[in-house]
Amino acid sequence: MKKIAVVTPIASRILNEAAGRRCRKVLPPGIEAEAISLTSGPMSIETMFDEEYAAAALYDWALASREAIPREYGAIVVNCFADPGVEGLRELFDLPVVGAGAAALSLAIQLAPRFTVISMQKNSLPHGLRRLAGQGLSGRLASFYAVTEGLEGLASSERGAFGQLLAFGRRAAGEDGADALVLGCTGMAEMAEALSRELALPVLEPTSAGVW
């Protein structure tokens, strides 16, 4: 059986190990995922410019291996909440191409009347709110928060990042009326289970949603 290519569209391997662990944890036996990052593009994705830059880098990766990718992989997951380049990759390949962010939001609207998104750093807020509005989901949004940690802090699961996520999650559940929490960065993936235990509500993260 062909593997799932789980592509984090940044020029860093910082999330590869965590993405691989998360995929192995949630995929059934016999289904294998390979965590991939790029050699060009942004170091993290927080703004519209970052998203467009990541999409261009994804297309470079895809075009450079256009014949090899369908032979080796049975599906592609773009492992970023912003889902850069998803539509373009669908035109290039006769393969399922899944945006991890769209997959997480799809689960959220099935599980929860209202949900909260927690992203990273404040400059991601306008971008995230615009995206939700474009998908017609603003009415389902209870609140939208951003932690102060950058990607490196999130990837290391430092106590500070987890503490901020937990505080926002408690506010979302207790004050904002959220029925589920959506983690708006794949760098938060490995904190989802601990958050869910503390908050007693569904915590959805994009990497798992993308490969499901």
pLDDT tens column, 31-49: 999 999 999 999 999 888 9
Is pLDDT at 79 greater than 90 in this prediction?
Answer: yes
What average pLDDT is seen over the chain?
92
User: What distance in Å separates the CA atoms of residue 64 and residue 83, rounded to the nearest whole number?
Assistant: 20
* pLDDT grade for 72, boundaries at 50, 70 and 90: very high
**CB-neighbour burial class of residue 91 (10 A; exposed 0-12, middle 13-18, buried 19+):** exposed
Phi then psi dihedrals of residue 120, to 5 deg: -115, 135
**CB-neighbour burial class of residue 90 (10 A; exposed 0-12, middle 13-18, buried 19+):** middle
Per-residue pLDDT, 153 = 67
User: What distance in Å separates the CA atoms of residue 22 and residue 136, rounded to the nearest whole number?
Assistant: 29
Please give the model's pTM, rounded to 2 decimal places. Answer: 0.93
